[in-house]
Amino acid sequence: MSTTFCAQCNAVNLIGDKYCFKCGSDLAVQPTYAASAAPAQWTDAESREWQPHADPLTPLTDVASFSVRHVLDLTLRNFGTHLWPITKLVFLVVTPFEIFKLLSLSRAPQDWQTISLTFLLGVTCNLLIAPALMYSIMKTLETDVAPGVNESFRWGLTKIGRLTVCAAISWVLQALGYMFFVIPGIIVSLSLALVYPVAILEKGSPSDVLRRSRQLTKGYRGDILGAEIVLGLLTLVINGPISLLVADMNSVSLSVFAAVVNDITVQAFTVLSLMMYLTLLRTPRKGNSLLSLTN
């Protein structure tokens, strides 16, 4: 009997089935290697690993239209669910940087070179973590199967180049906005709030990524600001006491611990950006049709 392999979860479906019986993926939009082909028949040029679904309107458990309350609830819930994977991702990437910063950069003169190097190292860590974290969350949401850290990093590394270019352009635009007037800088920052998830999960040029973020955030930027402020206050409640506790202690280990905890909680904003993206995709817009992730 003819069969079709689902590219999302590798389940075997019968020819004629519209949706995968296991994960619910639309078999009509499966890559060509998934139809009537066993995994052994995939070509080397084609990805053999699970990919986030190509249809942005694929139903996801508990993900509905955007609202501040809903997106914060999703953010806190998914952050809590993925706390251990987040901890492992941050520990592997950030801990060496934090040790290096405390042992070397903290003793160096705090001139523009040291500050710039510290900033670039921190940004590099975040660029490494964000794609892996979003992959981990998306796979869990779509398949109920949590990927390992190696799998998440391996997939995330394929997105680093494009994400870096898009993020750099976004930072320059925001910096220009803040240099001239504070309010325009805030508006630019809010309009580009979804650059990370769009650059990671969609296809297109950097200009397409920026345009897509502006399109999705239009009409909701005040709500996005409110969600970011609330989440910022929540992370401050966690990081503030820890920072005060280790401030007067001359202990490298405690300082590294406090820095890693801070970096873990900061990833809540990565989760927030992904949850805003997923909910805004599912928010009806008058006269607007949602684009596919493959556009």
* pLDDT tens for the 295 residues of the chain, in order: 344 666 666 566 666 666 776 666 766 655 444 444 344 443 333 345 678 865 656 778 789 999 999 999 999 999 999 999 999 988 888 888 777 777 776 666 767 776 777 778 788 888 999 999 999 999 998 888 889 899 999 999 999 999 999 999 999 999 888 887 778 889 999 999 999 999 999 988 999 999 999 999 999 999 999 999 999 999 999 888 877 776 666 666 777 788 888 889 999 999 999 999 999 998 886 544 443 333 3
Question: Nearest 5°: CA angle at 161, between 155 and 162?
Answer: 95
Helices (H), the chain: 68-81, 83-103, 112-143, 149-157, 160-180, 182-191, 195-201, 206-217, 221-247, 252-281
Residue with the two structure tokens 């950006």: 273
3-state SS of 270-284 is HHHHHHHHHHHHCCC
Say what the pTM is: 0.76
At 117, list the tokens.
């190097």
Is the CB of residue 71 less than 8 Å from the CB of residue 227?
Answer: yes
What is the distance between the alpha carbons of residues 129 and 144, in angstroms, rounded to a whole number? 21
Instruction: Show the tokens assigned to 215.
Output: 């399109």
Q: What is the DSSP letter of 15?
A: T
* Segments making up each domain of the chain, as ranges: 3-41, 68-281
State the amino acid at position 213 in one-letter form: S
Instruction: Report the C-alpha gap between 49 and 124 in whole angstroms.
Output: 25
Tokens read off for 68: 């501040």
Give, as one character, the DSSP assignment of residue 46: S
Length of the chain: 295
* Distances 238 to 160, 208, 235, 255, 262 between C-alpha atoms, Å: 30, 37, 5, 15, 8
